[in-house]
Each structure stands twice: as structure tokens, then as C-alpha cells.
Amino acid sequence: MKKHRMLILDIIKSSEEHMKAEEIYMKAKQLQPSIAVGTVYRNLGLMTEAGEIRRISILNAPDRYDKSLHPHEHLICQNCGELTDITVSDLKEYMEKQTGIEILSYELNLRYICDKCKNG
């Protein structure tokens, strides 16, 4: 694995957040000043295609990147964009039973208003 790709993967894996490409680039630039923004975007695409990370696409917002590859869903605050992992353990099985088909994969993003936005 190339050094830039390894650096980007380490940044994503060490973060507790679902980082945006720009955030990943800024962190990478601190650690490796010569890295170009195009290098970050290209490697994010390659790592997503290779199944090393997950891209989370959110309407009208920048994509975010997830280190967790296990099946899970996301709660997204409609106001501030806060993104939280949740797990609905039997969702796949329930959907397969309801539809009669084998579900290979799925992405589920649930929108809500977080407590900070409600109370703020």
C-alpha cells in the first residue's frame, strides 16, 4: 500500500467522526505537507472501491467516510449534519422476509433533529 493511501486510511481509522474529504486532507497536510488535495480524493475513491472504507452520501452535503464496514445505519441531524452510527440488528432479515428476496447490502440514513438543535 502506498504511503499516502496508508496515511489517509490511518487518519480515517483513528477518527471517532465520519470525516469529510476536506477534513481528511487538512489532517493529512499537517502530517505530510507535500500531499495534494487530488491525492486525497483519488485515494478515497480507490479505498471505497476496494471496500476498505465506506462512503456516506448525504443529499446537499459533502460525502463522509466511515471506517466501520460492519452493517449499520446512520442518524443524520437535518439541521447541523451530526452523523451517528446506529444498529438495527434484524433489519436485513426482516426485509428479506417481507420481500422474499436475498438482500446483498443496503444503506439506510435516518434524518432527525438532534437534541442540541432542538434545545439550542
Query: Known binder of ligand: residue 120?
Result: no
Residue 78 assigned as binding residue? no
Locate 17 and state its grid cell: 467522526
Which DSSP letter does residue 101 get? S
- H or E element in which residue 118 lies: helix 115-119
Q: Any binding-site annotation on 117?
A: yes
Closest CA to 44 of 24, 73, 62, 29: 24
- Check the annotation: does 87 bind a ligand: no
User: Grid coordinates standing for 52?
Assistant: 476498505
Task: Report the alpha-carbon distance of residue 23 to residue 10 in Å, rounded.
Answer: 13
Which residue ranges make up the annotated binding site for Zn(2+)?
77, 80, 114, 117
Binding-site residues, in ranges, read 77, 80, 114, 117
